[in-house]
Chains A and B, each alone.
Chain A
């Protein structure tokens, strides 16, 4: 157990729908990062939050949004889902995060596997 908790582990939904993925960072970590990994592809950085504020943005679609709450958990909202959004979505956390990328690396959760049918 890495200490980063992601729920749900699996999600199957239809095109056009909206889903919310949840991430609880490791205790003491202030930063949360979201990544997308499509089949046999490298991880694509989506967005980072540090202590409730957006810190860095990657290749995140306008249909996707995220937020980090006062208790530091984060949610990734995916709307108007398309077949191509099917992927593993990883959350990672780090102690720091005022800089991106984190100097000392981060800890990943086990991911949420999203299947859009």
Chain B
């Protein structure tokens, strides 16, 4: 079954600290993997998109990595800011029907 699992479910860190969010998937065949940021009550906003051949991609303080062999991805946030408080969603494209499979997200809270 095509699934995307994210960990941790929630995370609280202090402003200025770094953190890493994890995404494991079982989607096959794999097409690409995207990370979205979703502020409370808002629609998701794309952070990065990576294909099979890419193993790292950065967007400002956000760096995503992809290991297609182990089917794992991570999103690293550097020098966190209060505005980083949001849910971070991993989305994998693929499967026999070429679908988008959405993870449930990691809820990140940045405290001053």
| A105 beta carbon closer than 8 Å to chain B | yes
Taking a contact as CB atoms under 8 Å apart, the answer to whether A113 and B44 are in contact is: no
Stretch at the interface among A13-21, A36-44, A61-69: A36-44
For B1-43 the 0/1 string (1 means CB < 8 A from A) is: 0001000000000000000000000000000001000000111
- Interface of B (DSSP majority class): strand
Q: How many angstroms from the CA of A113 to the CA of B40 in the assembled complex?
A: 12
Note all chain B residues with C-beta closer than 8 A to A111: 41-43
Note all chain A residues with C-beta closer than 8 A to B89: 42-43
| A110 beta carbon closer than 8 Å to chain B | yes
How far in angstroms is the closest Cβ of chain A from B54?
A: 14
Q: How many angstroms from the CA of A88 to the CA of B105 in the assembled complex?
A: 15
- Interface of A (DSSP majority class): loop
Taking a contact as CB atoms under 8 Å apart, the answer to whether A101 and B104 are in contact is: no
Taking a contact as CB atoms under 8 Å apart, the answer to whether B42 and A42 are in contact is: no
| A114 beta carbon closer than 8 Å to chain B | no
Taking a contact as CB atoms under 8 Å apart, the answer to whether B100 and A101 are in contact is: yes
| A92 beta carbon closer than 8 Å to chain B | yes
Chain A interface size range: 20 to 34
Q: Indicate which residue in B4, B42, B98 contacts A110 across the interface (CB closer than 8 Å).
A: B42
Most buried by B among A88, A101, A104, A108: A101
Note all chain A residues with C-beta closer than 8 A to B79: none
| B82 beta carbon closer than 8 Å to chain A | no
Q: Of residues 90 to 112 in B, which have CB atoms within 8 Å of A's CB atoms? A: 93, 98-100, 102-105
Task: Knowing A100-B98, A101-B98, A101-B100, say if A43 contacts B93 (CB, 8 Å).
Answer: no
Contact surface of A with B, Cβ cutoff 8 Å: 2, 4, 40-45, 58, 88, 90, 92, 99-101, 104-105, 107-111, 113
A sample of 5 inter-chain contacts (CB < 8 A) reads: A43-B89, A100-B99, A101-B98, A105-B46, A111-B43
